[in-house]
Structure 1
């Protein structure tokens, strides 16, 4: 049995990131579902794994990781022999890191926050989150993807994986991609990758 354990929640775009890369790299792993509705992520047992009480969490033998983009970096460095998911070139690697930061801040504060607001009735300013999302799409993603197929270089990287889930589910936060053809085409390119698992819809999971 694989030594890798992924503490997962299907509705979490953060958890989707390592789940997607594990499957793209064809790595065997054990899924451990975390029942956040019952507060399992705040239980003493889970807090021993991730003191912040957040999903995903990840274990590979003695390695314990608690942040989704950190897990992506680990998987790419340890299990991708071809070094395509995280380029070894310093400039390209730095560019990947810049996009990982975008996924953790701007995407989180925009499409992710808007989705959380609508799906879970979280106390978030939905209008402000929507505004941030459109500003992000207008100033960064759409112009960049008009000229490039991928966020970094000529092949998909963990930058694409990190930014995919919450943009692919932007409609669940009442954000439309109708005016962003290049973002939409980029999402389709990712979803066409062999072995890629799409972010599931909230309607299917919550039905």
Structure 2
């Protein structure tokens, strides 16, 4: 049995829960109260090197980082979600966008809307005075514009005929854009892509 160490409000945890649902894989969830700092223990560090959620235990293997987990699950249980060789590079590039551009724009911007600024600063590792919300907004607009441009010419981010783990990686926080006060209607190709993902068999929405 797979075990997912999870927080229901985390977009990174959501993308793993969504993928597990899409591939029909049973698992058990263990709630980790990161707001109460329950992740900051030596025991959890043995599972997740940076004490972050999500983390996954698969038999005797511990995997941390949402993108590493998605790729582990795809390679072991759902290879159809991996891009074929001509699009492999594009798949990994868009996973990198999720881990870098989205993680440094939409993800922290949304955090400043759903928790206090003091709590957001703690999770981002900066002082509250250094929270650059206008900068987050600018970076968010930039990455969403580029995603929208890509999706205006391709149904899926990797340029494949079917979704790949890259779509799930980027969808995790794109699904929560409204919680960052983003009007997704201004990005029509992203809006259409989100709807395509919602129509996939097994889809589950964000939330507990």
* Residues 35-66 of structure 1: CA deviation (Å, up to 9, x unaligned): 11221110222112112110001110111111
Structure 2 CA distance for aligned equivalents of residues 116 and 156 of structure 1: 27
Give the alignment partner of residue 28 of structure 1, picking from 23, 26, 29. 26
Structure 1 CA distance for aligned equivalents of residues 84 and 192 of structure 2: 27
Can you give the 5+ residue segments of structure 1 that lack an aligned partner in the other structure? none
Can you give the 5+ residue segments of structure 2 that lack an aligned partner in the other structure? 122-130
Matched, 1:177 2:184: yes
Counterpart position of 2:3 = 5
Counterpart position of 2:195 = 188
Structure 1 CA distance for aligned equivalents of residues 150 and 108 of structure 2: 23
Matched, 1:135 2:135: no
Matched, 1:157 2:155: no
Give the alignment partner of residue 104 of structure 2, picking from 109, 112, 116. 109
- 1:88: Cα distance to partner? 3.8
- 1:177: Cα distance to partner? 1.4
Counterpart position of 1:146 = 152
Large movers: runs of 4+ above 6 Å: none
What is the root-mean-square deviation of aligned Cα atoms in Å?
1.2
* Residues 110-145 of structure 1: CA deviation (Å, up to 9, x unaligned): 11110011212223311111111111122x211111
* Residues 146-192 of structure 1: CA deviation (Å, up to 9, x unaligned): 11111121101101100012112112112221211111010011011
In structure 2, the residue corresponding to 1:31 is in which secondary structure? strand
In structure 1, the residue corresponding to 2:185 is in which secondary structure? coil
Count of matched residue pairs = 195
- 1:26: Cα distance to partner? 0.7
Give the alignment partner of residue 99 of structure 1, picking from 94, 97, 103. 94
Structure 1 CA distance for aligned equivalents of residues 62 and 39 of structure 2: 16
In structure 2, the residue corresponding to 1:135 is in which secondary structure? helix
CA contact (8 A) 1:111 1:175 kept: no
Structure 2 CA distance for aligned equivalents of residues 51 and 97 of structure 1: 23
Q: Report the TM-score when normalising by structure 2.
A: 0.90
Q: Report the TM-score when normalising by structure 1.
A: 0.90
Structure 2 CA distance for aligned equivalents of residues 150 and 194 of structure 1: 16
Q: Residues 38-117 of structure 1: matches in 2 within 5 Å? A: 38-80=36-78, 83-89=79-85, 91-117=86-112
